[in-house]
Amino acid sequence: MSDTVRVRFAPSPTGGLHLGGIRTVLYNYLFAKQNNGKFIVRIEDTDQTRFVAGAEEYIFNCLKWIGLEPDESPIHGGNYGPYRQSERKEIYKKYAEQLIKDGFAYYAFDTPVELEKMRHDFKTEHNPSQQYDHNVRMKMCNSLTLSADEVNKLLSNKEVKSVIRIKMPEKKIVSFTDLIRGEISFDTSVVDDKVLLKADGMPTYHLAVVVDDYLMKITHAFRGEEWLPSAPVHVLLWKYLFGLDQMPQWAHLPLILGSSGKLSKRDGLKYGFPVLAMNWLDPKTGVMANGFKELGFVPEAFINFLALLGWNDGTEQEIFSLEELIEKFSIERIHAAGAKFDYEKAKWFNHEWLKKLTATDLKEKVAAILSAQSIETKDNSYLCNVIDLVKDRCILLTDFYEQSLFFFKTPEQFDTESILSKWDESKKEFFIDWQIQLMNLPTWTSSALESNFKELAQQKNIKQGDLLLPLRIMLVGRKFGPPVFQIAELLEKKETISRIKTVLANLNS
RNA sequence: GGCCCGUUCGUCUAAGGGCUAGGACACCACCCUUUCACGGUGGUGAUACGGGUUCGAAUCCCGUACGGGCUACCA
């Protein structure tokens, strides 16, 4: 193992990147940055039958959006490439053959049909799925049961497909120390002879992860808890191939759970919340899965709540910037139990971040949301003023549309219903007079507007409170939004007067 | 079925032998606000169960139950 910390995120490009994957990226990134190490992305595309067009590009787009860029990857370069396993095919064969030479692995010639037959024949109530293990390996077609001549004949026959399997020892205890769970041990008798090299010459995950972690000098390996059962295979491969002293330190991350078990891409569709970082259009099914980005999450919030799903710094702080996370993150404080994803809490984080971020931080994102609805955002300072006024009442970025629409477009409908019951001649006169006064108001500020409004109300002996709702309806169209005189200030004289007149005419008819 | 991991309010979690088990989300009530929010105050609500160890256990050990993961020439 080298001195520099080197960690990797190793996704399989088979579809959208979901919460669990992003959190693994995050923890890798935080740990790397905290230790002045390197964060590597390696594409694990050894299963050619699961190739999905665009999936790799999508992964990198997601990383870009959340701002966690790798130091090394197929597109970022680096000295330990290639970073796509499909481009490293030739490397793995050598190691697999070495294992055979050393007696730790063997060739197997069983066809899929034969494997299925074996599983069927051995199936009992107590053993519903027989593995290819020490109990059956001597009854199968492989280099342990065949003579050397027969094996060589089969290997040289192009028609015959073969794989290389690890030969799991019997009754050995394999153990290792997990950074999150402590010591974990397994009885090798109950682990099967996993395929290491497939018939198409590609390695399986088990071989590839060990070989590549070694060649890429990975020091700490983070992965989901679902990998724990195959860890003894990997530990043994490290022992056989490179020595246990070279093995990275493992940390098996707790799973992120949906409402029933491991969070799946299907959960999103089922429960109406996103599980992917960004929108993903499945090229095979044509189904679009929602992403946090498009739903209106800011990356700061997305990262923040994912970091806290299974980790905390021991204090009561919940809002962390990326810089703070880099500083405070620690593997020891990762919770061992799985965490159920709570969309309501995710939205709360986003709300907190919208309040925290400045108008300057947000303006481009808000402008994009508005222009997607064909709304022109006028000049920059106007947009920033609007953002400052409404951002506290937005939970998602997309809420800016509804919350700020009336600043950019005259409302098409006015909720006159709400004021009609208390509407009378005196109020009508008030607004007629007021809009005339407004034309000559020397300074157009919210406080000037308010005092002028108050004065006229007093003169006419009308309660100011009874006039505020009508004014709001005139300017906003509905019963919501920021303080009404601040709205008028931003709308400016011409538009303010025009809206008042419109509603007055409306109420007349 | 077997193996592995886990178990504190509905959810995310704090408390790593010692105060009435703390906080956050959500929910409810009140206050603030002549709109809607923000904000503030308070409330409901948890150590799965049974044994041990100990002066003392949410915390350590064992068992049970429950939950989850894995059990492919997928990762």
Mean pLDDT computed over every residue of chain A: 94
DSSP A306: H
* Residue A509: predicted pLDDT: 66
Q: Would the pLDDT of A171 be above 60?
A: yes
* Residue A89: predicted pLDDT: 96
Q: What's this model's pTM, rounded to 2 decimal places? A: 0.95
Is A265 in the active site?
yes
Please name the fold of domain A359-403.
Answer: Helicase, Ruva Protein; domain 3 (1.10.8)
Task: Render pLDDT for A432-454 as a digit per residue (tens, 0 to 9).
Answer: 999 999 999 999 999 999 999 99
Task: Render pLDDT for A205-246 as a digit per residue (tens, 0 to 9).
Answer: 999 999 999 999 999 999 999 999 999 999 999 999 999 999
The DSSP annotation for A60-80 comes to: HHHHHHHT---SBBTTTB-TT
Q: Give the percent of chain A with pLDDT over 70.
A: 99
Distance, angstroms, CA A243 to C1' B51? 44
Let me know: does A37 contact A30? Beta carbons within 8 Å. no
CATH architecture group of domain A410-509: Orthogonal Bundle (1.10)
* Residue A445: predicted pLDDT: 93
* Residue A2: predicted pLDDT: 55
Task: Render pLDDT for A275-323 as a digit per residue (tens, 0 to 9).
Answer: 999 999 999 889 999 999 999 999 999 999 999 999 999 999 999 999 9
The DSSP annotation for A151-197 comes to: HHHHHH-TTS--EEEE-PPSS-EEEEEETTTEEEEEEGGGS---EEE
Residue type, A381: S
Q: Taking residues A501-508, what's their average pLDDT?
A: 89
* Residue A266: predicted pLDDT: 73
Task: Render pLDDT for A34-89 as a digit per residue (tens, 0 to 9).
Answer: 999 999 999 999 999 999 999 999 999 999 999 999 999 999 999 998 999 999 99
Which token pair is A188? 């090798």
Here the contacts of A357-362 (C-beta below 8 Å, separation 24 or greater) are A357/A298, A357/A300, A357/A391, A359/A383, A359/A384, A359/A385, A359/A387, A359/A388, A359/A391, A360/A384, A362/A298, A362/A387, A362/A391, A362/A397
Residue A370, C-beta contacts closer than 8 angstroms, at least 6 positions apart: A376, A377, A400, A401, A404, A408
Return the axis-axis angle of helices A464-476 and A425-439, rounded to nearest 10°.
70
Task: Render pLDDT for A274-283 as a digit per residue (tens, 0 to 9).
Answer: 899 999 999 9
Q: Would the pLDDT of A184 be above 90?
A: yes
Cα–Cα distances (Å) from A114 to A108, A118, A139, in that order, read 11, 6, 11
Which token pair is A246? 């070279």
> What whole-number distance in Å separates Cα of residue A328 and Cα of residue A331?
10
Nearest protein residue to nucleotide B23 (CA to C1' distance) is A316
**Alpha-carbon A383 to chain mean position:** 29
ipTM: 0.96
| Nucleotide closest in space to A345 (CA vs C1') | B25
Nearest protein residue to nucleotide B10 (CA to C1' distance) is A342
Among A89, A217, A239, A265, the one annotated catalytic:
A265
| Nucleotide closest in space to A469 (CA vs C1') | B35
* Residue A267: predicted pLDDT: 74
Distance, angstroms, CA A306 to C1' B11? 14
- Which chain B positions come under 7 Å from a protein C-beta? 1-8, 10-16, 22-26, 34-39, 67-75
Let me know: does A350 contact A292? Beta carbons within 8 Å. no
Residue A39 pairs in a beta bridge with: A7
Which token pair is A46? 């050894």
Q: Taking residues A93-105, what's their average pLDDT?
A: 97
> What whole-number distance in Å separates Cα of residue A439 and Cα of residue A487?
17
Residue with structure tokens 């923040």?
A304
Q: State the pairing for strand pair A38-41/A6-9.
A: parallel
* Residue A3: predicted pLDDT: 79
Nearest protein residue to nucleotide B11 (CA to C1' distance) is A342
| Nucleotide closest in space to A348 (CA vs C1') | B25
| Nucleotide closest in space to A198 (CA vs C1') | B73
| Nucleotide closest in space to A114 (CA vs C1') | B73
* Residue A422: predicted pLDDT: 86
Q: Would the pLDDT of A345 be above 80?
A: yes
Distance, angstroms, CA A336 to C1' B50? 25
Distance, angstroms, CA A69 to C1' B27? 40
Answer CATH for A88-205 from 3.90.800.10, 1.20.810.10, 1.10.150.130, 1.20.1090.10: 3.90.800.10
> What whole-number distance in Å separates Cα of residue A361 and Cα of residue A387?
10
Distance, angstroms, CA A504 to C1' B25? 45
Domain boundaries, chain A: 88-205, 359-403, 410-509
When pLDDT is cut at 50, 70 and 90, the band that residue A507 belongs to is confident
Q: What is the 3-state secondary structure (H, E, C) of A83-127?
A: CEHHHHHHHHHHHHHHHHHCCCEEEECCCHHHHHHHHHHHCCCCC
The DSSP annotation for A417-453 comes to: HHHHTT--HHHHHHHHHHHHHHHT-S---HHHHHHHH
